[in-house]
Amino acid sequence: MPSGLHALYGLFLLFAAAKAGEELFQRLRQPALIGQILAGFLLGPSVLHWLAPSGSLDFMAEIGVMFLLFEAGLETQPEEILEHGVMSFLVAVLGVLTPLALGWWFALAAGENAITARFVGTLLTATSIGITAQVLADFHATRTTFGRVILGAAVLDDILGLLALSTLSSFAGQHPRLVNMLLTVGFVTLFFVLVLVLRRTAWPRMRRRMSGWRARSPVWSFSLVLLLAFSAMSVYIGLAAVIGAFLAGIFLSESEEIEPLRQQSHAVSSFVVPFFLANIGLRMNAAELFSRRDLFLIGAITLIAIVSKLVACGLAALPLGRKDALRVGLGMIPRGEVGIVVAGQSLRIPAIPNAYYSISIAMAVLTSIIGPLLLRLALRPQPSPGPAAQAPVARQASLR
């Protein structure tokens, strides 16, 4: 088969399978990303052997993850976080530091090297805003106080998680230096601040000037230029391209034309993001998943991921009351697409054992199933007491 035809065949097969998996899991009321990952896993070398990782699939996956984070940035409104800013900040900080410390400690206790320990801690920090937002929307809880706290804290979690991810490369060398990490944190912080300032000052002026441009869809075209520029800039200063993509989305989220931008971004994402998710499954190794040690690591890391977010975020949200604090803790459990993005970085750091890629994906998938299931139970309305239950209360009231 000619190489061009072989590449097109691979793209066709992976995309069709990913979309079928997405449809199936949507019907099962489960996160669509799990169905897409599973589709790639079934097609890959571990099960059916119909496809193998290739350069063309890797390239489409890289574009896919950039659009995934770009779309997340478009949905991020920093001003909304300020509505319950103190509570969201406390939930986010405790929800990052606690799993970071526990994951780091556990990996060291399991005999892993220091870089792998930092990776495991970083992996456990983020929260999937997309999965939790969908559950809240299903129960019309997005505008509740606890719903806004969850969404605000999840956005901050993503930012802090990406910041932690950006420091990983500082420790990846043979002789990591604290100064390198501090420079990385400084670069990222400056990058974030610059974007947040320019989105309110320079971007509105630029948008008004575009009204006179004759190019087709000038705002969308400029958005794509900005996405690629920010991604390239991130790589140039030693960060992951996804950080630049996320920042480009935040920059553009301050726009009168945000809904058309979101629709155009969603149209492109529906094509390229499935390649990223299915390619993850394609690269998973079943042999690594089913060894006794790896099953133990999957179980232990998943348990730490669930308990650390539930306890830390729940405690931070206690001023809302026990019931809402429980809902906040459960809402912060899913790692979803952000955990998967962090997992992909493990393949780029030689000091991290390859098995941790599959272990990380398994943890992200399990938390994306368990978290929403528990949150749905916590959001389900309690049945009102029937007449039989109300009668003793009425009798006691009459006696008083």
From first to last of its 400 residues, what are the pLDDT tens digits of the chain?
677 788 899 999 999 999 999 999 989 888 788 899 899 999 998 889 999 988 899 899 889 888 988 887 887 776 666 666 788 889 999 999 999 999 999 999 999 998 899 899 999 998 877 677 767 777 778 778 888 888 778 877 877 777 777 676 655 554 555 665 666 667 767 777 777 788 777 887 787 787 778 778 888 988 999 999 988 887 776 667 777 888 888 888 876 667 888 899 999 999 999 998 898 888 887 776 778 888 999 999 999 999 999 999 999 999 999 999 999 999 999 887 778 888 887 878 888 898 898 899 889 888 888 888 898 889 877 655 555 544 444 444 444 4
Confidence (pLDDT) at 171: 57
Per-residue b or e along 272-287, where b marks 16 or more CB atoms closer than 10 Å to that residue's CB: bbbbbbbbbbbbbbee
- Token pair for residue 34? 């799990």
The helix (run of H) or strand (run of E) holding residue 129 is: helix 129-138
DSSP sequence for 11-25: HHHHHHHHHHHHHHH
Gyration radius of the chain's alpha carbons: 22
How many whole angstroms separate alpha carbon 137 and alpha carbon 133? Answer: 6
Characterize 17-53 residue by residue with b for buried, 16 or more Cβ atoms within 10 angstroms of its Cβ, and e for exposed: bbbebbeebeeeebbbbbbbbbbbbbbbbbeeeebee
Residue spans per domain, the chain: 3-208+237-380
What is d(CA 267, CA 272) in angstroms, rounded to the nearest whole number?
9
Q: Please check whether residue 44 is in contact with residue 36, taking contact to mean a CB–CB distance below 8 angstroms.
A: no
CATH class of the domain defined by 3-208+237-380: mainly alpha
pLDDT value at residue 383: 58
Query: Which amino acid type is present at position 309?
Result: K
Model pTM score: 0.74
